[in-house]
Amino acid sequence: MIRVKIRSWTASFRYPTFQSGYQPTLPVPPLSTIQGLLSAAKGEIASFMEVPFVGYVFISEGKGIDLEKIYALGKPVTDVMKREVLLDNTLYLYLPDEWEEHFRKPRFQLLLGRSSDIATVEEIKKVELERKENVPIGGTIVPVSTGLPGIIHALVVEFDYSTIPRRAKLVRPFTILPFPRTDGQKKRQTSKNKIPYDSELGIGVWLHEGLHGEV
Amino acid sequence: MRFAVGIVLIDAPHSALNMLGIDESLADRNVTRVKKLRKGGKSYPYVSPQAWRYWWRKTLAEHFNWELSPLFREQKQVFTAANPIDYPDDDVFGYMRAFKKGNTNITVTRVSPLKNTPLISVLPDRSSVTTDEGYASRHEGDPVPYSQEFYSTVLKGAFSLDLDSVGRFTRIDKAGFKNLLDKDSIKNKELKKEVEEMEKKAEELGVQMNRKEWLMPSNIRKKRASETIKAIRYFLGGAKQTQYLTDVTPKFVILAMFEGGINPFISNVVYDDRGEIKLDNEAIISRILEFKDLLNPKKVFIGKDKSFMREWEDALKKVKEELEKDKIEVVLTTVGDAVEAFAKEVEAYYG
């Protein structure tokens, strides 16, 4: 498989539960953002149907709150909304080899969230992940069935773009695991089962495989 | 496919270009803060991406006489006209307009061909931000104290313009791809008339109108794309200009065209070294060489204002030397000349 290293100055991932006047960001991208990245690289809407597996590790160095003027529904005046933004981000994508050509020459600009979150490919390399027990997982989302502790959200796996506006095609509950930085966090987010391990980053990589043919 | 990408540095020696407003967490509520992002134990002032876009749009209107798409209210929401034929800023900056007239509910969206990051301070707040204590007073009655933050730093920003998408409007029934409405699918008379007028105008201009896509004549696409680039040297805008008078025209730019949606300068090409702003020429060289295959033409434009960071000059000569060994031409000049020369390359793309 290949590992694509993507970097951006800013990123924002829509928090699924709506909050009035405040838009927080998820600490890691949901699968639908990954679908968006794959689509932008390929130049056409990609579906996980065609991708046998995908794994990712997202690391962010900081955070901030931006103010945005919005024109709210049903209100004649403009309003100011707070929006959370992640700073200096790295996303490692683990993909089948055939994706290398798309990420070498992406058809559209790669974004980690909104149009201001321009990202760039910094490195593409072939990696072999050894399956190991008792390794920490993080910077990703995992199915709730793994039993790992974390915040649970119903997240969109994939969007259907054939309707306007786009429609969520598949929504599933996931446990959100931020990238573990402290020993305590690593310990909490350790999986007892054998999972692929990236020894360079020192992190277990959850490969979303079941999506193949299911979406 | 071709993308015009770059990085700009804006020198802000005493500035407060984008404010967060009153700090509500303080008991006094009289401190106005600048916008900041947090990283590790440090904070970095920034200008939000939408503020920078606003400057960009305004510059195009003032220096290139762009007639900006009007804002109008409909169903208590505000939209631009969503008419990229008449309004170049709708074309270049994109739009979303949720149409709902009578029983017709048709939404058009256009992904912006021009994308930009925020402008982020290279220096953290502890070496750039200060709080100014002010008093509102006319020497009669009690003076009212207030404080406001401002900074002294260099802001970095990156952008990417999708040259293929400028003047190309898709009409596919997919979310994000429906840039224009089809008059046959509209029942509402008023809306139908609006679309018919746009079609008439498009015909007059010589737009190639296919069922799935409209393509503007190359001279219009060329004008829109190159003026978007040329505007870089004239940027105007920013808050608190009365008190700080910041010149927001970039003092340093790196510009290049790539055949892929990447911007290799979104990386640490400038960095903070104990309060000093340094240029990492090795990073610039390696990032460009990494994407050498996609670089087209094999040219990189670097512009620097003479008085800005004089100590970078040797490092930049090294960039030129090293890249020219790999047959990449490096145009090392002033910001104005670099932008103009780059705009010419952008024009050449449209033939």
CA-nearest of A68, A64, A179 to B39 is A64
Please confirm whether the linkage preceding B113 is cis (ω < 30° from 0): no
**pLDDT number for residue B199:** 94
pLDDT value at residue A18: 67
Q: What letter does residue A158 receive in the DSSP assignment?
A: E
Q: For A47-70, what is the mean pLDDT?
A: 91
- Cα distance between residue B182 and residue B177, in whole Å: 13
Nearest CA in chain B to A168: B175
In chain A, the residue whose alpha carbon lies closest to the alpha carbon of B289 is A122
Which DSSP letter does residue B104 get?
B
- C-alpha–C-alpha distance, residues A78 and A69, integer Å: 7
- CA-to-CA distance for A127 and A105, rounded, in angstroms? 20
Q: Testing the interface with A: which of B3, B17, B23, B48 to mutate, by most A Cβ within 10 A?
A: B48
Shortest Cα distance, chain B CAs vs residue A128, angstroms: 23
**Is some CB atom of chain A closer than 8 A to the CB atom of B78?**
yes
Contact yes or no for B157/B52 (Cβ under 8 A): yes
Please name the member of B1, B39, B260 whose beta carbon is closest to the beta carbon of A61: B39
Look up residue A73 and give its two tokens. Answer: 């529904």
B93: which residues sit within 8 A by CB, 6+ positions away?
A: B53, B57, B112, B114
Sheet holding A203-204: strands in order across?
A: A130-132, A195-198, A203-204
Question: How distant, in Å, are the alpha carbons of A71, A110, A136, B9, B325 from that of B260?
Answer: 34, 10, 35, 23, 23
Chain B residue closest in CA terms to A112? B117
Partners of A105 on chain B (C-beta within 8 Å) are 259-260, 294
Q: Which two tokens stand for residue B141?
A: 């009655």
Q: State pLDDT tens for residues B48-82.
A: 999 999 999 999 999 999 999 988 776 666 778 89
Q: Terminus-to-terminus CA distance in chain A, angstroms?
A: 22
CA distance linking residue B60 with residue B119, whole number of Å: 19
pLDDT at B101: 65
Domains of chain A: 2-209 (3.30.70)
CA distance B141 to A198: 69
Tokens of A85: 């933004």
B215 interfacial to chain A (CB closer than 8 Å) = no
- Encoding tokens for residue A5? 């290293």
Q: Which of residues 29-68 of A touch B (CB under 8 A)?
A: 40-41, 45, 61-68
To the nearest whole Å, the CA of B207 is away from the closest chain A CA by: 24
Q: Which alpha helices (H) appear in A65-136, and where do they start and end?
A: 100-104
- Tens digit of each residue's pLDDT, chain B (351 residues): 999 999 999 999 999 999 998 888 888 888 999 999 999 889 999 999 999 999 999 999 999 999 999 887 766 667 788 999 999 999 999 998 877 666 666 789 999 999 999 999 999 999 999 999 988 888 888 888 899 999 999 999 999 999 999 999 999 888 888 999 888 888 888 888 989 999 999 999 999 999 999 999 999 999 999 999 999 999 999 999 999 999 999 999 999 999 999 999 998 899 999 999 999 999 999 999 999 999 999 999 999 999 999 999 999 999 999 999 999 999 999 999 999 999 999 999 998
The yes-or-no verdict on residue A213 having pLDDT over 60 is no
What pTM, to 2 d.p., does this model score? 0.90
Total residue count of chain A as it appears in this document: 215
DSSP B28: S
Burial class of A65 by CB neighbour count within 10 A (0 to 12, 13 to 18, 19+): middle
Q: Bridge partners of A25? A: A14
pLDDT tens-digit readout, A12-36: 998 887 677 788 999 999 999 999 9
Q: What is the DSSP letter of A178?
A: P
- Helices marked H in A49-168 — which ranges? 100-104
Residues on chain B touching A79 (C-beta within 8 angstroms):
none
Indicate yes or no: CB of B178 within 8 angstroms of CB of A61: no
Residues 71 to 130 of A: which have CB under 8 A from any B CB? 71, 73-76, 80, 85, 87-88, 104-111, 115-122
* Contact status of A192 with chain B (Cβ, < 8 Å): no
What's the ipTM?
Answer: 0.82
Amino acid at A105: K
Q: Fill in the DSSP letter of residue B171.
A: B
Q: Report how far residue B119's alpha carbon sits from residue A92's, in angstroms, rounded to the nearest whole number.
A: 25
- The candidate with the shortest Cα–Cα distance to A142, out of A47, A211, A45, is A211
What is the rounded CA–CA span in Å between residue A113 and residue A12?
5
Distance CA A84, CA B43 (A): 14
Over the stretch B96-112, which tens digit does the pLDDT of each residue have?
Answer: 887 766 666 678 999 99
- By Cβ distance, the residue of A105, A122, A166 closest to B294 is A105
**A17 touching chain B per CB within 8 A:** no
- Among the partner residues B48, B158, B160, nearest to A66 by beta-carbon distance: B48
Residue with tokens 């995992």: A142
Q: How close is the nearest chain B Cα to the Cα of A95, in Å?
A: 19
Q: Has residue A212 got a pLDDT over 80? A: no
> What angle is formed at CA A33 by the lines to CA A52 and CA B286, rounded to 5 degrees?
90
Q: Provide the 8-state DSSP code for B138.
A: -
Chain A nearest-CA distance from B115, in A, is: 6
Handedness of CA B243, B244, B248, B249 (dihedral sign): positive
Of A40, A62, A105, the CB nearest to B37: A62
Neighbouring-strand partners of residue A93 = A4, A56
- Average pLDDT, whole number, for chain A? 91
- Comparing CA positions, the residue from A113, A67, A110 lying closest to residue A86 is A113
Q: CB B40 to CB A88 under 8 A?
A: no
The DSSP result for B67-88, as a single string, is -PPPPEEETTEEE----TTT-H
Task: State how far residue A208 is from chain B, nearest Cα, in angstroms.
Answer: 25
